[in-house]
Structure 1
Amino acid sequence: MSVSAFDLFKIGIGPSSSHTVGPMIAARQFACKLRAAGLLPATATLVTELYGSLSATGRGHGTDRAIMLGLAGHQPDQIDPNAIEPALASIRETQQLRLLDIQPIAFREKEHMLFLRKSLPFHPNGMRFVALDAAGAELASAEYFSVGGGFVVDADGQRVLNETSLALPTAVELPYPFDTGADLLAQCSRHQMSIAALMLENEKQWRTLPELRRQLLAIWQTMAGAVQRGCASSGHLPGRMQVQRRAAGLYQQLQNPDKNAPLDPLAAMDWVNLYAIAVNEENAVGGRVVTAPTNGAAGVIPAVLHYQQRFVAGASEDHIIDFLLTAAAIGIIYKKNGSLSGAEVGCQGEVGVACSMAAGALAAVMGGSPAQVENAAEIGMEHNLGMTCDPISGLVQIPCIERNAMGAIKAINAARMALRGNGTHVVSLDKVIKTMMQTGADMKTKYKETSRGGLAVNIVEC
């Protein structure tokens, strides 16, 4: 199956692409399957079983909420975040859920949503749905796996698409196909094209040029909107830790600097931190963000692109397009050869991949050659190898929010280092992706989005 830039950049809601966006898509898909089979009228209730990481951090990551919303027919890129709480409150108060907003079924969370510690063999983020008739007999069942970045596959490994994507062909013949970093560099060299230009031609197999530009700019506007909302919102994040939101206060400080203070040559870093923190605070409250390539890492790419637009001379709309296309090309290589799942390889597969994508994209729009772009992407991942995923209290807050800010700063530095070289380097992007996967395989399960290791067990919750 060919992978598009819009498979990497998906508009959705927080706090997690693998635990919120993916399960919502899977739940809706199962309800649609019941409707297609003519089983919806006979369905009296439905049991959801969550396995592995979905069970361990599901409540903190909003998996329970996502399942209910998906069964009710909602889609992550369409639902109004302001409508979520009323919809959930209605289900819980009435103990009734309307499948696809059509068929009423009994739904009591403790009875009909089961959190099971064991993992299914295919992937740590497994879920199983079972539809039952009024007598309790099974009508249909299905297993799905949320494999990172909002990607969902069924028990046969076939990708499950969000309904809004179904109009697009899932298999097309691309004019410039690539699977690896080496493939991408060879295509660019053979055809004397930049990575962004190559991606543009590939993307035109799905969309016209005007539509492609419109949708990429819509992705950027959604990213920018998350920054704006984060900078305007104060108070505490949800959850027992009651983490104080910081973006609004930081924004006010940066907007009103001390005029008597000496010039700070690193002030741009504060703005980059702000952009990333603002996005991930929005993600933590379940707001509208762009999966880039995951929700847990949603702040890195917007922060670096904001940096380019604000602090790099000559920034333009074309740079936004080229940045996102280049980042997507790098993300596609990770998707095909690595992982975007914290439950599979730790946070190196989330913030690490986002850092790599952002580093390569920034190098590209600052005039880097394809070789320098590949070098920047490699640097971005090499120095995130081994990073664990250990969210405190199962929430996408600590260390996730600050980690996005650090990932954005690393990406900028990686791009600058690569641009000072000629693209020649010892460790290739393909080798570092292979290393990421090997490191993830060796990493203990407790460090992979289970909240059973690392910071998650060394910090006493208040």
Structure 2
Amino acid sequence: MVSSVFDLFKIGVGPSSSHTMGPMTAACRFVETLRDKGLFGRTARVEVDLYGSLALTGKGHATDRAILLGLSGQRPDGIDPDEADRIVAGIREKGRLPLGKDRDISFDEAGDLRFLQRERLPHHSNGMRFAASDAAGEALETGVYYSTGGGAVLDETAIARNAPPDGVWDIPFNYHSAAELLVIAAREGMTIADVARANERAQFPDEEIDARLATIAEAMSRCIDRGIAQSGILPGGLKVKRRAPGLYRLLLDRAERTLSDPLTVIDWVNLWALAVNEENAAGGRVVTAPTNGAAGIVPAILRYYQRFTPHSTDEGVRTFLLTAAAVGSLFKENASISGAEVGCQGEVGVACSMAAAGLTAAVGGTPAQIENAAEIGMEHNLGLTCDPIAGLVQVPCIERNAVGAVKAIEASRLALAGDGSHLVSLDQVIETMRRTGLDMNERYKETSLGGLAVNVVEC
């Protein structure tokens, strides 16, 4: 099914869309279920079990923190990161949970929030189970949820019957492949962005679409600026130093010399991608693009379009985001955007493909050139593993966004230098990515059991 641009680009908090935003949303939903069933007032205890990748890398991805916040009635798109710190600190200090903001219950984090690292639920590696009981210990309600990537959450029933996620709606142009999308564009005389906008009109008027797109673009821009302004050490124990502020000062100090260096633009793109993902690693406010772990690529390339391409416009920004989302939807439907399912090719690889397509569209590329750019962006990320050191979204994730952003520019330029004809199609690359993910050893799917996670000694 076609995903909305506002499903792929969601404002939330770091460090992970699947391990932070998803669990926080799931915890909120469980509390809402208790309210809907009239069980909220009787609830005296809530227990949570985390499975698979959530259990293996949840500590590094702040999944425990996200669960506490979600049970406290906080949502990823509305919480202030500083307020989140105070809420979590209060729960841990007092051993009391403000369930749904309204009901104060006892909460023993060590006993009530369990990381079951040797177990996995059947439908997805990012599984979690919630259970509520009354003061006498009688079971009231249980709920099983899966965080399927990009902050999306499905309950056990929905994922078992392959139900569409929330936000699916009747649209005028339904497509399931890049080939179908290109046929629609040619038949209707539309751009890919036009097709995406026409589908969004099924639920929003143009004025609201534009306002929402502007909000997304502004949130991305603010995240870059915050990341540049913040200095210090990232949380988590690896003692990773924020590099964006220093790189920014270096670029300003060398302003005159950089005029003669044609590669200076790469330094700026690196800066913007690093700034976003350092902010994400610190638990700051970011936009899934399509995930938090890959959140730096699209904003960096969007700012590249605004600062370093001639004749950039607000309409170009809208074209960029709509086109990027159309491409991201193809990956989400036909493969995955979850590192726990297919490795980092599903996160950084998809983000690179989306950014390449968006940039190509914004500077006037044809639908065929856009499809070519998206294909190149993913083709050269195939097989990319997800092996974060200590389960933190820091190494190699932060630098990987900078490299992915530069790849997106290269993919766009290669596509624009041609007429759109090429040997390997985007659909073939998406299917290859899916199969590669299936073949990939589980150790390289966001478990921190292989690769850099075990070959780099933690200090």
What range is the shorter-chain TM-score in? over 0.9
| In 1: Cα distance, 2:13 partner to 2:170 partner | 32
5 Å-filtered alignment, 1:31-50, equals: 31-50=31-50
5 Å-filtered alignment, 1:304-453, equals: 304-453=301-450
1:172 Cα deviation from its structure 2 partner? 2.7
Query: Where does residue 6 of structure 2 map in the other structure?
Result: 6
1:136 Cα deviation from its structure 2 partner? 1.5
Query: Where does residue 202 of structure 2 map in the other structure?
Result: 205
Please list the CA deviations of residues 341-394 of structure 1 after superposition, one character each: whole Å capped at 9, or x if unmatched: 000000000000000000111111121110110010011000000000000011
SS for the counterpart of 2:326 is helix
| In 2: Cα distance, 1:342 partner to 1:2 partner | 21
Query: Where does residue 456 of structure 1 map in the other structure?
Result: 453
Residue 147 to residue 299, structure 1, CA distance change in 2 (3 Å): same
| In 2: Cα distance, 1:350 partner to 1:53 partner | 15
| In 2: Cα distance, 1:239 partner to 1:90 partner | 20
| In 1: Cα distance, 2:159 partner to 2:241 partner | 41
Residue 123 to residue 206, structure 1, CA distance change in 2 (3 Å): same
Code of the residue aligned with 1:244 in structure 2: it is: K
Code of the residue aligned with 1:142 in structure 2: it is: G
5 Å-filtered alignment, 1:33-432, equals: 33-117=33-117, 118-157=119-158, 170-257=167-254, 259=256, 263-432=260-429
| In 1: Cα distance, 2:255 partner to 2:19 partner | 42
| In 2: Cα distance, 1:358 partner to 1:136 partner | 51
Code of the residue aligned with 2:18 in structure 1: it is: S
Residue 202 to residue 111, structure 1, CA distance change in 2 (3 Å): same
| In 2: Cα distance, 1:143 partner to 1:246 partner | 39
| In 2: Cα distance, 1:135 partner to 1:435 partner | 53
Please list the CA deviations of residues 179-213 of structure 1 after superposition, one character each: whole Å capped at 9, or x if unmatched: 11111001001101000111111111111111110
1:134 Cα deviation from its structure 2 partner? 1.2
| In 2: Cα distance, 1:401 partner to 1:319 partner | 27
1:2 Cα deviation from its structure 2 partner? 5.0
Q: What number of residue pairs does the alignment pair up?
A: 454
Code of the residue aligned with 1:143 in structure 2: it is: V
1:238 Cα deviation from its structure 2 partner? 0.4
5 Å-filtered alignment, 1:12-23, equals: 12-23=12-23
1:260 Cα deviation from its structure 2 partner? 5.3
Contact 2:244 2:274 in 1 (8 A): yes
SS for the counterpart of 2:42 is coil
1:171 Cα deviation from its structure 2 partner? 4.1
Code of the residue aligned with 2:181 in structure 1: it is: L
1:3 Cα deviation from its structure 2 partner? 2.0
Give 5+ residue unaligned stretches, structure 1.
Answer: 160-165
| In 1: Cα distance, 2:94 partner to 2:316 partner | 50
| In 1: Cα distance, 2:299 partner to 2:205 partner | 25
Normalised TM-score (structure 1):
0.96
Contact 1:2 1:170 in 2 (8 A): no
| In 1: Cα distance, 2:206 partner to 2:400 partner | 35
Query: Where does residue 162 of structure 1 map in the other structure?
Result: none
Please list the CA deviations of residues 72-128 of structure 1 after superposition, one character each: whole Å capped at 9, or x if unmatched: 100100001110111001111111112111122211111000101211110000000
Please list the CA deviations of residues 121-141 of structure 1 after superposition, one character each: whole Å capped at 9, or x if unmatched: 100000000101112221110
| In 2: Cα distance, 1:261 partner to 1:220 partner | 28
| In 2: Cα distance, 1:52 partner to 1:256 partner | 47
Contact 2:148 2:338 in 1 (8 A): yes
1:424 Cα deviation from its structure 2 partner? 1.0
SS for the counterpart of 2:140 is strand
1:413 Cα deviation from its structure 2 partner? 0.2
1:255 Cα deviation from its structure 2 partner? 1.4
Code of the residue aligned with 2:398 in structure 1: it is: I
Q: What's the % identity of the aligned pairs?
A: 56
Please list the CA deviations of residues 316-364 of structure 1 after superposition, one character each: whole Å capped at 9, or x if unmatched: 1111100000000001111111101000000000000000000111111
SS for the counterpart of 1:156 is helix
Query: Where does residue 27 of structure 1 map in the other structure?
Result: 27
SS for the counterpart of 1:238 is coil
Residue 410 to residue 49, structure 1, CA distance change in 2 (3 Å): same
RMSD of aligned Cα (Å): 1.3
